[in-house]
Structure 1
Amino acid sequence: MTIRRITAVLGCLLWMGSMPVNAIAQSAAAWQAQQAAAEDKADKLLLMAKQQKGLLAQYRALMQGLADDDSPAFRMIFGQYLAWYASYIGDYPVAMRAFTIRQTLQPGDNASPLAQGGYVAQPALDAIPELAKNYQVVLLNEAHNIGMTRSLTVPLLSRLYAQGFRYFAAETLMESDTGLQARGYPTHDSGFYTEEPIYGEMVRTALKLGFKVIAYEATSNLSNPDAREAEQARHLYERVFAKDPHARLVINAGFDHIVKSGSYLGGRSMAEHLARLTDASMLSIDQTAMYPHPNSNGDHPYYTAAMQQEKPTEPIVFVDSKGKPWSLRPAYDVTVFFPPEKLERKRPTWLSLWGLREAHLVSGDGCRDHYPCLIEARYSNEGPDAIAADRLLLDQTPMAVSISGLAAYGSTQAVPSGDLYLRPGSYELSFTAEGDKVEHRETIQVP
């Protein structure tokens, strides 16, 4: 799959909701032309960056590309690319600042659960498995560059497995990685978003639990969004339900691929196409509307009120006395509210995956005074090709770019340090400087 194929559909959805104020006065045609030119330039820069050796060098090349062009259309599109790579190297605050979508009240949205009365906040980790008992398919979405929006899915998998779900499908997994199931962990060749450690942990967790992991991404050279959605649904049907009509399936996808009704990019969503191929009941869970933005002005007004009233420390959903969940939009069944983000030593604490992992302090001594330095932790029982369980970027002078708030983890310490978030177990740490040179390796035990 090419980068253009991935971004063409997602980008259409995001650009429309993110048009800069100074672009509104332009004609729609002029703005679309600027977007098209910006996408061409962004794709070329991304391909050039990918020629660099190692994630760190690729990320720095992307940072420079963003600094060299401050036009709104380019910043919007290329910011999305930079955000992906920022999440890949564990720089989640930058990933959020580089590309974010302001959440506003839309026509047709349901009234707030606080205003309706009768709804009670419940921990999402408890409520969602209980809701899922009556469904054959659970659909979970995410904002691809916002790792928080997939953090809940990882611990949910064990609870859904306990409910009898045995298939797990994830967007942009590559069917060409035929060894994924037997190997038990994702590699660089497993997919696109799997490069990000939390996404990799999601796939790894599904494999360890015993799920049959399904690649369902469209493989045809499709330029029509509806055709992509239809092919994704067809792959799911052929690889799951045609062989096992009573299969119980968990699907991870981006944004509105999982809406159950309404027009999606001029056609139907993957979920709608799948519903036409099977009679399976579907629970659709939106995780992309109610999360904290870098600036509170980007938060949905319902989110702000809910945080002030409930003060949650874990993801929550609202359920009424009859067991019916609340959703912001009718096309979904449930909306998840994530708590405000908390940073410790400049890393978000949601990296604990809501109790599965703990912070492990790591010194930059292994960087051998070569900065910026990327520290990666891989499970000792996995190969060196495995996607890291977590990555930490250390620098003595932050990599800066001319966009507000974007800078890597800098430090005034002579030897910087930071936290890796890890489950109990044995890990192989690597300390890599630019040029993909490993300066140091060591084994650690996390109790």
Structure 2
Amino acid sequence: MIPFLFLTCLAGSAAAQNGDLFSSVAMRFLSYPANYLKPLDTLLSFQSTIGKDARMRPRFFNELATYSSFIGNYRDALRYYDSAGFREQVPASPSGPDAFSGYRPASARQTIIRMAASRQVTIINEAHHVPYHRLFTKSLLQELYNAGYRYLALETLGSFDDELNNRKYPVAKDGYYSHEPLYADMVRTALNIGYRLVSYEFNGSCTGREDCIMKREQHQAEQLHQVLQKDPAAKMLVHVGYSHLREAPLNGIEWMAARFKKLSGIDPLTINQEFMRETFNPALQHPAYNTAMKLFKLQEPSVFVKADSLWNFAPADRSCDILVFHPPYGMAQGRPDYYRLDATRKPVTVRLKKAYDHVMIQAYIAAEKDAGRLPADQLLLERGNEARLMLAAGEYDVVVRDGEGEILEIKTVTVQ
């Protein structure tokens, strides 16, 4: 699905024209999804004009952040998102040295798996420009399946039939965010484990921001509720973006999780990954996150435990059950360090026939033959960079493409 942001109404002719630009870039990308570089290059060519338009700046830099995340440019994704000026309304909380008094860090993964085992529905969110949120959700899949979870509902999926569930891996037509390799890998992993994917996104018409939000949240809640009406004993994991997991209203808006809870009578376990994470500019990080990093120097996704309670925001805020604190991720061997969350991947240096500049190197799983297949990993190669991919064991078709999407080189790589 094209991001819901594309469907927002724009006021004024200049804004409308710029909105048409964003939609045009997205549609061209979706029609030729192998060319990940073209959307970035096109948008960057307008940075001196649209990037300085106060009305369009948030949307412009958000799109740059998203497309940067697609090609694995993690630091650029963070930097562009900071430039967009979005400031999520994060609840206030104690953040001084005593904020975590009596608490100790514990594995977020193990805590979630334990708590989710006794719940029927678990909802976890992501920031759309942060790929490691998908790696973390992927790390939960097998244990949750062992605990009885059988459905995985994904925000990115538009309307689809059972072709995806039967095919067992995603292709370009199966969603927008799944074009990012780690999202595609999360989908592929879930299907191979045995999950049934659920589409629940709103594709109807709406007018104005409030009407669109209300209709979207209500439709999502109803679609998820329908799954459990048809299969009342089922357990379901739902992977959403940002505020859809909120159990409490925000600015008078009732979000999807709250509506689902009201409709179904089921209290979901809600897990927020987006609040407690690094930003490009540390000054934009939540004060409590900065305190936690200073006190505990976390090395893995963590929660904070005291007796039987988890550290959360002030008692007045009931927006989620669990806050995951992700450590800052630097670079390791030329790639983002968050790949250590996936023990199946290892660095693989690909020897190419020549030195390239400003091209994409993409690794496709050789057994996936569809024309719209999605890369397992990819990297933007600039002059002097090493072609180091992060790949699990298997056979891959490695493709080098220029800025227009033309293939410059193909080779087969086998990873033991």
TM-score, length basis structure 2: 0.88
Are residues 1:286 and 2:272 paired? yes
Are residues 1:180 and 2:154 paired? no
Query: Partner of 1:316 in structure 2?
Result: 302
Query: Partner of 2:62 in structure 1?
Result: 80
Change (3 A) 1:369 1:50: farther
* Partner Cα separation in structure 2 for residue 393 and residue 248 of structure 1: 39
Among residues 416, 429, 434, which one is paired with 2:403 in the alignment?
434
Query: Partner of 1:326 in structure 2?
Result: 311
Q: Show CA shifts across 1:63-110 (max 9, x none).
A: 212243323332221111111111122222211111136778955546
* Partner Cα separation in structure 1 for residue 96 and residue 163 of structure 2: 46
Are residues 1:259 and 2:243 paired? no
Alignment of 1:296-307 (within 5 A): 296-307=282-293
Query: Partner of 1:246 in structure 2?
Result: 233
Question: Offset at 1:38?
Answer: 4.1
Are residues 1:90 and 2:72 paired? yes
Q: Show CA shifts across 1:115-163 (max 9, x none).
A: 2533221111211101112211111001101213332111111121121
Question: Offset at 1:45?
Answer: 4.0
Change (3 A) 1:105 1:258: closer
* Partner Cα separation in structure 2 for residue 219 and residue 355 of structure 1: 37
Question: Offset at 1:356?
Answer: 3.3
Among residues 367, 388, 395, which one is paired with 1:419 in the alignment?
388
202-211 or 273-282: bigger deviation:
273-282
Question: Offset at 1:49?
Answer: 6.4
AA in 1 matched with 2:346: E
Change (3 A) 1:112 1:276: farther
AA in 2 matched with 1:59: L
Q: Percent identity?
A: 30
Are residues 1:142 and 2:126 paired? yes
Are the counterparts in 1 of residues 65 and 76 from structure 2 also a CA contact under 8 Å? yes
Question: Offset at 1:7?
Answer: 4.4
Query: Partner of 1:24 in structure 2?
Result: none
Aligned residue pairs total: 401
SS in 1 for 2:274: strand
Question: Offset at 1:56?
Answer: 1.7
Query: Partner of 2:375 in structure 1?
Result: 388
Q: Show CA shifts across 1:218-259 (max 9, x none).
A: 121134211111111111122x10111121110000111001
* Partner Cα separation in structure 2 for residue 33 and residue 221 of structure 1: 18
280-289 or 422-431: bigger deviation:
422-431
Are the counterparts in 1 of residues 2 and 176 from structure 2 also a CA contact under 8 Å? no
* Partner Cα separation in structure 2 for residue 49 and residue 246 of structure 1: 39
SS in 1 for 2:253: coil
Are the counterparts in 2 of residues 341 and 348 from structure 1 also a CA contact under 8 Å? yes
Are residues 1:171 and 2:155 paired? yes
Structure 1 spans left out of the alignment, 5+ residues: 12-31, 397-412
Q: Show CA shifts across 1:366-420 (max 9, x none).
A: 5x45532111112222124321111111022xxxxxxxxxxxxxxxx3xx31321
What do you get for the CA RMSD once the two structures are aligned?
2.6
Question: Offset at 1:48?
Answer: 4.4
SS in 1 for 2:46: helix
Change (3 A) 1:37 1:251: farther
Among residues 256, 263, 266, which one is paired with 1:277 in the alignment?
263
AA in 2 matched with 1:64: S
Structure 2 spans left out of the alignment, 5+ residues: none
AA in 2 matched with 1:123: S
Among residues 197, 213, 216, which one is paired with 2:181 in the alignment?
197
Q: Show CA shifts across 1:324-345 (max 9, x none).
A: 3222352110000111111124
Are the counterparts in 2 of residues 314 and 354 from structure 1 also a CA contact under 8 Å? no
AA in 2 matched with 1:41: N
Are residues 1:51 and 2:32 paired? no
* Partner Cα separation in structure 2 for residue 138 and residue 40 of structure 1: 40
134-143 or 94-103: bigger deviation:
94-103
Query: Partner of 1:15 in structure 2?
Result: none
Are the counterparts in 1 of residues 349 and 388 from structure 2 also a CA contact under 8 Å? yes
Are residues 1:133 and 2:117 paired? yes
* Partner Cα separation in structure 2 for residue 111 and residue 259 of structure 1: 22
Alignment of 1:216-227 (within 5 A): 216-223=200-207, 224=211, 225-227=213-215
